[in-house]
């Protein structure tokens, strides 16, 4: 657990086990910005064509890989921005995220955005992330 990130869910705001309302970083460390991840592998294969759950699952695995490359873990993650192509079933995307969310000590702050399309017509979802890794 990263003690330099406070997750706050005031009583007057919606409480949801999938996300937090506020995240505050404090102390010395580095902020890690992970650009929008999609369902394309390093070999240019698209994972889960037509399946938002599978694409979401794959993308969240790539975010975990990116964090590890920065000597960070899921406990350092505090913000996700999720871009979902209009017409996709958000609930199915959430199903693809369940395993990932179960690994988190605290649910991150999340913003969901419905978009007309992404860089490739086979992409159904794209996710960017922000983490804070303390020094030392």
Residue range 5-134, CATH number? 3.30.1330.40
Query: Quick one: pLDDT at residue 105?
Result: 87
For CA atoms 97, 98, 99, 104, the dihedral sign is positive
Query: Quick one: pLDDT at residue 19?
Result: 87
Query: Quick one: pLDDT at residue 93?
Result: 95
Give per-residue pLDDT as tens, 94-128: 999 999 989 998 889 999 999 999 999 999 999 99
Give per-residue pLDDT as tens, 29-84: 999 999 999 999 999 999 999 999 999 999 999 999 999 999 999 999 999 999 99
Contact between 59 and 98 under an 8 Å Cβ cutoff? The reply is no
Give 31 or 1, the one with higher predicted confidence.
Answer: 31
Q: Which residues pair with 9 in a beta bridge?
A: none
Q: Cα 6 vs. chain centroid, distance in angstroms?
A: 17
Q: Is 91 helix (H, G, I), strand (E, B) or coil?
A: helix
Contact between 10 and 98 under an 8 Å Cβ cutoff? The reply is no
Give 11 or 136, the one with higher predicted confidence.
Answer: 11
Helix, strand, coil in percent for the chain, rounding step 5: 25, 35, 40
Distance of alpha carbon 34 from alpha carbon 57, whole angstroms: 16
Residue 86's pLDDT band (cuts 50, 70, 90): very high
The DSSP element (H or E) to which 95 belongs, if any, is helix 90-102
Q: Is 39 helix (H, G, I), strand (E, B) or coil?
A: coil
Distance of alpha carbon 122 from alpha carbon 37, whole angstroms: 13
Q: Is 6 helix (H, G, I), strand (E, B) or coil?
A: strand
- pTM, rounded to two decimals: 0.88
Query: Quick one: pLDDT at residue 16?
Result: 86
Domain ranges across the chain: 5-134
Residue 1's pLDDT band (cuts 50, 70, 90): confident
């Amino acid at each position: 657990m990263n003690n330099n990130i406070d997750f706050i869910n005031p009583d007057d705001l919606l409480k949801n086990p999938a996300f937090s309302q506020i995240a505050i970083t404090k102390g010395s460390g580095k902020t890690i910005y992970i650009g929008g991840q999609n369902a394309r592998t390093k070999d240019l294969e698209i994972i889960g064509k037509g399946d938002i759950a599978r694409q979401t699952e794959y993308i969240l695995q790539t975010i975990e890989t990116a964090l590890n490359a920065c000597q960070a873990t899921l406990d350092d993650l505090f913000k996700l921005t999720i871009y979902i192509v209009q017409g996709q079933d958000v609930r199915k995307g959430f199903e693809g995220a369940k395993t990932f969310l179960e690994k988190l000590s605290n649910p991150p702050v999340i913003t969901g955005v419905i978009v007309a399309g992404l860089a490739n017509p086979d992409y159904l979802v794209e996710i960017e992330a922000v983490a804070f890794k303390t020094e030392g």
